[in-house]
Chain A
């Protein structure tokens, strides 16, 4: 079935010198720090860290860690529309060079048929990331234990927070929405329905934005949760923007905490689309519960 599998020696046995252009290496500003294995350099970086408060205790200049500090080793896999053979292998190495990887190695190349070939490669990154210069969009809330969330809402708000959730537009996927809202939750972390301090209305999938807004108004929702899983052709962006605009037009935008979720959603993206918060991959129900409780209370000057 799978023709033309070619195995290569493990990396450490290969002494191939990278022949390709490597502009990144010439970036002398980072050259010394990229060496990595030198213990003196580690000390240098410790000093950098001390100077820079933005790095918050982490090492400032960092490289991917393969099997020792500073080696910069990256594992990568991809497919090229080329037949299996020497040309494809060289093209694969060039792909890695263009990603600023040095010493690109093709560990295996496999024909997928129809003149497509799959590559697993390894390369090294030489230009470290300056963590002090990174901007991280982080939602402004703390993760708190469910018991505390319950207590906080009960004592300060005195009624449940009303949450209306839906997978909107043509999106038929409710896995993410259900994981956050349903009692069962996700990975042992119960969903909002399990909290007595949330009243949850889960509208399910393929809900038009208009219906979601109407329901939120009817329920006097404190928060709206929108899940978008299918992202082909970036249809989710138009959908989410449309929802925030719709709420704006109805004069309801300021009355609800508007939250987007889904594997391709980030907090920064959500803010850009006119939402209050965005939750991406690896979100647990507790994250959303913590945020909602704090944000709803904050808006009422109770937090």
Chain B
């Protein structure tokens, strides 16, 4: 069997350092919350839809509390108070706030005890809904088991959810196990979640709860037809990371792109905002049984895969421990990495094999996600297809769990129907043809592959030591990851971060922590 001879004491040390890095950040930020976390609580209490002027009611409600200077207490107790005083549901309270018929600042106060009790009641109902969806998934997986490994993952990105659905059905029929609906470009920077069924987007389709519902229903039909559960992916990322986690939990999205640092690095979202939001969003994902995907593969689009491979590994350790601290189990942590070494380099295939095997062995119980080459695809679709064939083979023989199917037309356009077909066919071929090859091969002791993996691990360890010593915020300021520098007070969304008052109460977080045992 293909196995690296890794120094386990170094691996243990990496884990210890990464856990310390993540813990320090969580402790430092534990006194703060964000507007999107509060909107998530409101959504989970049943606030949905938009005001007559098109603003999501969750935003209306939280903005109202911000203007009253009450958001620091959290949305839960104020909403619970209003429900008790007015004898209305959270949805009706929000609608009345939007219509300016209710001012949460001038309602009589029922007292902390009664409000907390009411909020807990609403929380129980919300968690029960999420749990029901989780159990539903478990039942469907039993009825329609997925046998192929790695799962073949493809994207659809038309901007029109109905067009996406047709393409997703086709992809499923062609053999795809996982369908990701790429989000409209720029949604990550919206400080609200768009509402309704959408038929227009740029470079992708808006992530809305209605779109989730439509796509999940279509894939459920396909799952039944094919006898194989087809998983759905969306993005719990950007300025509304936890809100989208909640929407995904309620609509049985199966995987979420959800990274502790991606937004900071690649979307210039404020570091504190992202790190606070990721913690809460991951608790929801954990409870919903969602598999998260991290985005380390993106590092290799801005820095060289050969010289910076260790930054991917170091970041995976950090992402892993942030995830763990939020209650995600190993089986839910889909760490990302990619096949991006310059194909003109001699033995690039061996080097890719070393990296893929390293990640697989460092996180043996995690559903690691392997991303295809993109940087060295130039529009030569025939070479791109050949390069993907190598990627497919490495993925299969190193036992990757989630295989993002590479497209021959990468760098030209979003995949055409035929591109997706050709790519799925090639990946499915490798999966069948080389199914047990990894089991039958072994590595030369001290050979090129083993040496490369050892080198990357050593460099990752020394990078983690460095980050642990200076703290994650300073490391981000110095551009340790992806060569991108981000100031702690810079970036978008800092205005949505606030310090919790002594009266702050978030029953959803409390409930999730209890359920998850964290």
A residues neighboring B (CB under 8 Å): 1-2, 77-79, 110, 112-114, 116, 118, 169-175, 178, 182, 184, 187-188, 204-206, 230, 232-233, 235, 263, 281-282
Q: Which 3 pairs from chain A and chain B are nearest by CB?
A: A170-B186, A113-B173, A230-B203
With contact pairs A1-B175, A172-B267 given, residues A118 and B411 touching in the complex (Cβ less than 8 Å): no
Contact of A114 among B159, B173, B376, B411 (CB under 8 A): B173
Q: Kindly count the residue-residue contacts between A and B in the assembled complex, taking CB atoms under 8 Å apart.
A: 95
Q: Which residues of A contact B202 (CB under 8 A)?
A: 170, 230, 232-233, 235
State whether B417 touches A118 (Cβ < 8 A).
Answer: yes
Contact of B302 among A182, A206, A232 (CB under 8 A): A182
- In this complex, what residue of A is CB-closest to B169? A114
State whether B203 touches A116 (Cβ < 8 A).
Answer: no
Q: How far is the CB of B430 from chain A (nearest CB, A)?
A: 14
Can you list 27 contacts pairing A with B, beta carbon distance less than 8 Å?
Answer: A112-B173, A112-B417, A112-B418, A112-B421, A113-B170, A113-B173, A113-B174, A114-B169, A114-B170, A118-B417, A169-B186, A170-B184, A170-B186, A172-B185, A173-B185, A175-B301, A182-B302, A182-B483, A187-B378, A205-B266, A206-B267, A206-B268, A230-B185, A230-B202, A233-B202, A263-B412, A281-B379
Q: How far is the CB of A143 from chain B (nearest CB, A)?
A: 18
- The residues in B between 459 and 485 inclusive whose CB is less than 8 angstroms from any CB of A are 483-484
Judged by a CB distance under 8 angstroms, whether B197 is at the interface is no
State whether B169 touches A175 (Cβ < 8 A).
Answer: no
Give the docked Cα–Cα distance between A232 and B483 (Å): 29
1/0 contact string of B192-218 vs chain A (CB within 8 Å): 000000001111000000000000000
- The residues in B between 254 and 274 inclusive whose CB is less than 8 angstroms from any CB of A are 266-268
Judged by a CB distance under 8 angstroms, whether B304 is at the interface is yes
Give the docked Cα–Cα distance between A175 and B428 (Å): 28
State whether B379 touches A178 (Cβ < 8 A).
Answer: no
Q: Which residues of A contact B342 (CB under 8 A)?
A: 188
State whether B268 touches A1 (Cβ < 8 A).
Answer: no
- The residues in B between 151 and 209 inclusive whose CB is less than 8 angstroms from any CB of A are 159, 166, 169-170, 173-175, 184-186, 188-189, 200-203
Judged by a CB distance under 8 angstroms, whether B425 is at the interface is yes
What's the dominant secondary structure at chain A's contact region?
Answer: loop
Give the docked Cα–Cα distance between A100 and B183 (Å): 39
Q: Which residues of A contact B166 (CB under 8 A)?
A: 114
State whether B378 touches A77 (Cβ < 8 A).
Answer: no
Judged by a CB distance under 8 angstroms, whether B375 is at the interface is yes
1/0 contact string of B286-328 vs chain A (CB within 8 Å): 0000000000000001111000000000000000000000000
* B contact residues, total (Cβ < 8 Å): 43
Contact of B268 among A169, A184, A204, A235 (CB under 8 A): A204
Judged by a CB distance under 8 angstroms, whether B123 is at the interface is no
Contact of A170 among B173, B185, B304, B411 (CB under 8 A): B185
State whether B203 touches A77 (Cβ < 8 A).
Answer: no
- In this complex, what residue of A is CB-closest to B483? A182
State whether A178 touches B302 (Cβ < 8 A).
Answer: yes
Q: Which residues of A contact B200 (CB under 8 A)?
A: 233
Give the docked Cα–Cα distance between A77 and B409 (Å): 13
Contact of B303 among A172, A174, A184 (CB under 8 A): A184
Q: How far is the CB of B263 from chain A (nearest CB, A)?
A: 11
Contact of A113 among B169, B201, B268, B376 (CB under 8 A): B169
Judged by a CB distance under 8 angstroms, whether B355 is at the interface is no
Q: How far is the CB of B435 from chain A (nearest CB, A)?
A: 16
Judged by a CB distance under 8 angstroms, whether B13 is at the interface is no
Give the docked Cα–Cα distance between A205 and B170 (Å): 33
- In this complex, what residue of B is CB-closest to A179? B375
State whether A77 touches B302 (Cβ < 8 A).
Answer: no
Q: Which residues of A contact B186 (CB under 8 A)?
A: 169-170, 172, 206
Other CB < 8 Å A-B pairs besides A116-B170, A172-B267, 12 of them?
A112-B170, A114-B166, A175-B301, A178-B302, A187-B378, A206-B267, A230-B202, A232-B159, A233-B159, A263-B413, A281-B411, A281-B412
- In this complex, what residue of A is CB-closest to B167? A114
